[in-house]
Amino acid sequence: MAMILNGKEVSARIKDELRDEVKAMKARGIEPGLAVILVGDDPASAVYVRNKKLACEYIRINSFEYILPKETSEAELIELIQKLNNDSSVSGILCQLPLPEHISEEAVINAIDPKKDVDAFHPVNVGKIMTGNYDFVPCTPAGVMELIKESGIDVAGKECVVVGRSNIVGKPMAMLLLHQHGTVTICHSRTKELAEKTRCADILIAAVGIPEFIKGDMIKPGAVVIDVGINRIAPKKLVGDVEFDTAEKLAAAITPVPGGVGPMTIAMLMKNTLKAAELNKTC
């Protein structure tokens, strides 16, 4: 049976460390603050925002919440972001995605000050990730890397396969693995003979957003399997992008859903916010 990579336990430990760090920062006169913007009433987004608020409360950083109606215009949203950019009490700004169709995600992301972009979606921060000289990393890929490290898994020299090429997870995930000296293959919807490629992976990252897409017979025996997906297939049932029951029998280590990558994402957001507070302390 595979070792379970318990993100809930690792993230709890990280948040305890961050809580101590916040105390030390406040003693130096630095008050970290995270502004979260939610436009509309998407239920999943509302859950994410609530979890972020609870994490802020736990590590004792200031939390600023802006819940805007779905009808909010792009200009109004960008005006709010500009105010937050200029607010010295706000260290980091996060605009919850997806946005309503009439608002350009690109325009909103570009409006956030790169030094307050704790999601690391701004082109400036994306470019820094490419070079390896970054301040922030998108929270989910950062959480995956932290979970791998905490589990004692060495990326160097490993065959790493990332299934998914999104700007939020797949692409930055590949860059982080490359920076740790992994040999990286990115697969996607047009990849031919996908199973042949995934069966070569020492470390397999599934980030496609399709319930149980990766089956056990697509996994190399002894592989490390990281499941980024969170898919609701029934009112009270969540599954990942990996078919856990079949994958667990072959993998050396695997993340569960829920309780794997999800909690790590929130912990990394808190870590990014503290880094932003340090970057903006002279502002």
**How high is the pLDDT of residue 222?**
96
Question: Pick from 74, 96, 113: which residue ends a domain?
Answer: 113
pLDDT digits (tens, 9 = 90+) for 26-76: 999 999 999 999 999 888 888 889 999 999 999 999 999 999 999 999 999
**Interior/surface letters 116-133, b for 16+ CB within 10 angstroms, e for the rest:** bbbbbbbeebbebbeeee
| Rounded (to 5) percent helix, strand, coil in the chain | 45, 20, 40
Q: What is the Cα–Cα distance from 131 to 122, expressed in whole angstroms?
A: 15
Residue 224: domain span: 139-262
- What's the CATH number where 242 sits? 3.40.50.720
**3 domain-assigned:** no
Q: Are residues 253 and 195 in the same domain?
A: yes
**How high is the pLDDT of residue 42?**
83
**Given 52, 115, 197, 275, the catalytic residue:** 52
Q: Are residues 174 and 244 in the same domain?
A: yes
pLDDT digits (tens, 9 = 90+) for 180-233: 999 999 999 899 999 999 999 999 999 999 999 999 999 999 999 999 999 988
**How high is the pLDDT of residue 151?**
86
**Given 113, 115, 117, 119, the catalytic residue:** 119
pLDDT of residue 283 exceeding 80, the answer is no
**How high is the pLDDT of residue 282?**
56
Q: Are residues 102 and 145 in the same domain?
A: no
Q: Where are the alpha helices (DSSP H) in 86-169?
A: 105-111, 123-131, 139-150
Token code pair at residue 234 = 């029934």
Q: Are residues 105 and 172 in the same domain?
A: no
- What's the CATH number where 36 sits? 3.40.50.10860
pLDDT digits (tens, 9 = 90+) for 261-272: 999 999 999 999
Query: What rounded mean pLDDT belongs to the chain?
Result: 95
Q: What is the Cα–Cα distance from 139 to 48, expressed in whole angstroms?
A: 13
Q: What is the Cα–Cα distance from 12 to 106, expressed in whole angstroms?
A: 33
**Interior/surface letters 178-201, b for 16+ CB within 10 angstroms, e for the rest:** ebbebbbbbbeeebeebeebbbeb
Q: What is the Cα–Cα distance from 190 to 100, expressed in whole angstroms?
A: 28
**119 domain-assigned:** no
**58 domain-assigned:** yes
Q: Are residues 34 and 145 in the same domain?
A: no
**128 domain-assigned:** no
35 by Cβ neighbours in 10 Å (0-12 / 13-18 / 19+) ranks as buried
**How high is the pLDDT of residue 236?**
82
**123 domain-assigned:** no
Q: Are residues 166 and 252 in the same domain?
A: yes
Question: Pick from 97, 113, 129: which residue ends a domain?
Answer: 113
Q: What average pLDDT does range 109-118 have in this prediction?
A: 98
**77 domain-assigned:** yes
Q: What is the Cα–Cα distance from 115 to 125, expressed in whole angstroms?
A: 9
Residue 224, SS3? strand
**129 domain-assigned:** no
Q: Are residues 71 and 146 in the same domain?
A: no
Q: What is the Cα–Cα distance from 271 to 120, expressed in whole angstroms?
A: 12
**Given 96, 116, 197, 271, the catalytic residue:** 96
Q: Is 96 a catalytic residue?
A: yes
pLDDT digits (tens, 9 = 90+) for 131-145: 999 999 999 999 999
Q: What is the Cα–Cα distance from 41 to 72, expressed in whole angstroms?
A: 12
Q: Is 26 a catalytic residue?
A: no
Q: Is 119 a catalytic residue?
A: yes
Whole-structure pTM value: 0.94
Total number of domains constituting the chain: 2
Q: Where are the beta strands (DSSP E) in 119-211?
A: 159-163, 183-187, 203-206
